[in-house]
Structures are given as C-alpha cells and as structure tokens.
Amino acid sequence: MKLWDKGYEPDKLIENFTVGNDRDLDLQLARYDVLGSMAHIRMLESIGLLGKDELPLLLNGLQNILDDIDAGRFTIEEGVEDVHSEVEQLLTQRLGDIGKKIHSGRSRNDQVLVDLKLFFRDKLRETARDVATLFERLQALSEQYKDILMPGYTHLQVAMPSSFGLWFGAYAETLVDDLRLLAAAYAIADQNPLGSAAGYGSSFPLNRTMTTELLEFSTLHYNVVAAQMSRGKTERAIAAALSAIAATLGRFAMDVCLFMCQNFAFISFPDELTTGSSIMPHKKNPDVFEIMRAKCNRLQSLPNEVALMTTNLPLGYQRDFQLLKDVLFPAFGQISGCLQICDFMLQHIRVRRDILDDSRYDYLFTVEDVNRLVLSGTPFREAYKTVGHAVQDGTYRPTRTVNHTHEGSIGNLCTDAIRRKFDEVIAPFHL
C-alpha cells in the first residue's frame, strides 16, 4: 500500500532504490506516528470532518496499534512503503472505510515532520539525561579530588600546577556549554508543523493550535512554508549539538589515554576494565576510551554530513531529506553509549596522589615563585628574570606551595556556581 496510490505500481528497482532501509528506520517513528494521528483526528472531529461516532472507533483502533508497537508486535509489511502507510492500512483493515479518513487535511510531508519532531524531542531529552548523569559524576569527582595536585601542560610541556578537581570540573562546565546547544536544538524541534500539509497549508479549516496543545508542543511553526523548511534545519541543529558533546567526550578520552600511560601514570582503572595484548603480558590498555575517542571523532562529522545533504536544495520538500535518518537516528544511540560508558568508567577511576613529588615537575612552580616575589615588592619583570636565570643556571629550587584563591582556580573551584549554570540550562528539558 502507498498513500499516493493511483492505480499503478512503480518498477521494483525504483521502489527498492527510493525506499532503501526506510522501513527499518520508520519502526522508530511508529509510536509517534500513532500519537500524531490521534491528535489529528481529534482536531478533525472538532471541525466537523469526522463524525462524533467515528472518533471513538478510530481512537480505539489507533490505541490498539499503539499497544502492538509497545509490545514489539508491530512491523511494516513488505510492499508497504512507510510507517504512515502501514498504520492507515491496519486501521482500514480493522475498521473499514473510516480508516481512510484520518489523512484528511495533512500530507506525508507534515506527517513525517510531526513524527520526527516528537521523536527528536524524546531523544534529545534522553541525551540531556545522560549528559546530566555524567555532569553529576564529574562534579562529585571534582569535589572529591579538589586538593590533589597534578601537572598542567601547555604545548605538552610541563607548565603550571593544576589539580584533579580542576580537571574533572573543567569537563563538567564544558558539558554545560554543550547542553546549551542541545537546548537550542530541543527548542527548534519543539514546534508543531502539523497542518502545514505539503508545505502550503490546507483549504480545510484546521485548528493547528489544538493539535499543538494535544501534542504538547511549546509553540507552532506558524508559517506553513517555514514549517516545511524546518526539515533539514532541525537536523542541522541536532547534529551540531551532538557533535559538540562528542568533541568534549573525545577530548576527555584523549586525556585519559594519555594520563593512563606509564610515562604519565596519573590515573588507573581496575584490571577488569582494561584489555591486554596477545604477546605482551604487562599490557593494560585503555580500549574503552580509545573506542570512545574514535566514536566521538566520527560523530563530529555529523554537521558536515547533514549540511552536504541539505545545502542549496530548492524550496519545498525534496526526497533527499529521507537520508537524514540514516545518519542521525544511529547517532543518538552512539552518543548515549559513550556518555554512559564514560560515567561507568569514572565510577572506578583511581587517582594518584603523589605525582608532584617527582623532581621532573619542579618547574611547575616557577610562576608561583615569580608571583611570590612580586607580592613581596619585586617588579614583575625583575622577578621573572630572577627565576628564569635560576632555571637556566640549574640553581632553581621550587617552594612547592600553591595559593590560588580567585574564582575558578585550584583553591576556589566554584562548583556551586557551575551547578547553578547547569540547573538553568537543563530546565527546558523537563527531566
């Protein structure tokens, strides 16, 4: 069955090429397709396009399909083009001709848009929940290890003292920035396109405000052309947000791989959370974080993939948009998997507490000693030269004390302030 059936069948080769794996992907949209149809037919009844006796029958029929979906009994049959066709066909088989009435006042264009917006809203919420879990873990670790110093680097050269509290807290606050992008994508997805039909509205007196309220969208896509233009634009925003989270996770994974190696040996994990070598008995490899790094690097290609598929398309719906599902649907599972495994691993991280006892880190304290001279009255440039000459002639001996008090530094992590930022940004997700 095809919703555009006019009495002929396309060539099988054409059908296979154009449909591709859309049936498999559409199974993820099935629940949302039914929910969208339920809201739509309630609206149709309110404007007289469905009889009062027909609405309960259709709602009951759709609820039965929804129950099948939730129980894993729903499939899209071979020869049925998409989830929209399957739902309408099932309804017609079970209820007769009144099943054919549910498509009045809409097109597959706004139908799939509603499905996608509802799907994206849920997936963005799930992603935000996973980010929130990792944020909590990082915040807790930041407080737990706030007094444990570690080397800080610039250019991969020993630079200045840092702390594990500063390291964990940095990634916690960076996730807040990533959440801002996720919240922006959520706001774009949280707009109702139903009633825009094929992109130019309908001559039926549709009540689009009613379906907005029934589907709990925060607002309408008012302009019907703009509603259709959101296909692709919504995906771009989501891709940018997922890519930002991936960039943060990938960078953290790189830090972990570096800090686990014997040359650093700042952190470790229980043996059962590492992997070994087939010929080197001593190896305990950070494969989890290496796989995470690779997955996150791949996820950072999302914005480019979406952009290349949607750039310079003319106004109106184009079938190109179908392929956006191929790249975006799996991405949600991949980013969530990385967030969850990162949280799991951090539950078991072991932090080394005596790193700075090693003389190789003596030069970490040069800036501290320059600042100490300045505080005692020496002009900064003279203090810099004094310490610099001591380093050059081999007479420098660090005092090995750190006194940082300003906001966001080693001695003042501002964990509560970062928490307030997080609470503000996470609020729109209603978790």
308-313: long-range contacts at Cβ-Cβ below 8 A with a sequence spacing of 24 or more? 309/232, 310/232, 310/233, 310/235, 310/236, 313/232
Question: Which whole number is the average pLDDT over 219-243?
Answer: 96
- Please give the pLDDT value at position 280: 86
Residue spans per domain, the chain = 12-104, 109-357+404-429, 359-393
Q: How far apart are CA 65 and CA 322, in angstroms?
A: 24
Q: Are 44 and 104 in contact (CB under 8 A)?
A: yes
pLDDT digits (tens, 9 = 90+) for 331-347: 999 999 999 999 999 99
What span, in angstroms and rounded, lies between the C-alpha atoms of 151 and 143?
A: 18
Please give the mean pLDDT across all residues of the chain. Answer: 94
Higher model confidence: residue 50 or residue 79?
50
**258 touches 209 (CB < 8 A):** no
Instruction: Fold for 109-357+404-429, please state it.
Output: Fumarase C; Chain A, domain 2 (1.20.200)
* Strand, helix or coil for residue 72: coil
Cβ atoms of 380 and 374 within 8 Å: the answer is yes
Confidence bin at 9 (pLDDT 50/70/90) = low
Helix (H, G, I), strand (E, B) or coil at 150: strand
Asked whether residue 55 carries a pLDDT value surpassing 70, the answer given is yes
Q: What's the pLDDT at 369?
A: 94
Cβ atoms of residues 135 and 342 within 8 Å: no
Q: What is the pLDDT of residue 5?
A: 54
- Give the pLDDT score at 12: 67
The pLDDT value recorded for residue 10 is 65
Confidence of residue 300 (pLDDT cuts 50, 70, 90): very high
Topology of 12-104 in CATH?
Fumarase C; Chain B, domain 1 (1.10.275)
Beta bridge partners of 285: 275
Q: What percent of the chain has pLDDT over 70?
A: 96
| Residue 41 pLDDT > 60 | yes
pLDDT of 302-327, one tens digit each?
A: 999 999 999 888 888 888 888 999 99
pLDDT band for position 142 (cuts 50, 70, 90): very high
Percent of the chain with pLDDT over 90: 86
Mean pLDDT for the stretch of residues 210-233? 96
Element spanning 157, H or E: strand 157-163
CA–CA dist 166, 147 (Å, integer): 9
Contacts 24+ apart (CB under 8 A), 286-290: 286/256, 286/257, 286/260, 288/341, 288/345, 289/253, 289/254, 289/256, 289/257, 289/260, 289/345, 290/253, 290/257
Average pLDDT over residues 122-135: 98
Q: Phi/psi zone of residue 313: left (φ > 0), alpha (ψ -120 to 50 degrees), beta?
A: beta
Q: Output the six-digit token pair for 301.
A: 């290609």
In this predicted structure, the answer to whether residue 353 has a pLDDT above a threshold of 60 is yes
pLDDT at 276: 83
Structure tokens at 124: 């963005």
The region of weakest confidence among 256-265, 268-277, 368-377 is 268-277
Angstrom distance (rounded) from CA 302 to CA 243:
7
Total Cβ atoms within 10 A of residue 255 = 18
Length of the chain: 431
Distance in angstroms (rounded) separating the CA atoms of residues 71 and 292: 32
Write out the two tokens for 138.
């990082």
Per-residue pLDDT at 2 exceeds 60: no
Within 8 A by CB and 6+ apart from 412, the residues are 404, 405, 406
How far, in Å, CA of 319 to CA of 42, rounded?
Answer: 29
C-alpha pair distances (Å), 196 with each of 111, 189, 192, 204, 215: 9, 15, 9, 11, 15
For the residues 130-159, what does the mean pLDDT come to? 97
- Give strand pairing partners of 350: 268
> What is the value of pTM for the model shown?
0.92
Residue with the bigger pLDDT between 226 and 316: it is 226
225 in Cβ contact with 317 (< 8 Å): no
pLDDT band at 4 (very low <50, low <70, confident <90, very high): very low
* Token pair of 250 as six digits: 């990938």
pLDDT at 17: 66
Write out pLDDT tens, residues 357-413. Answer: 999 999 999 999 999 999 999 999 999 999 999 999 999 999 988 989 999 999 999
Q: d(Cα 136, Cα 307) in Å, to the nearest integer?
A: 33
pLDDT of residue 79: 80
Q: What is the pLDDT of residue 78?
A: 83
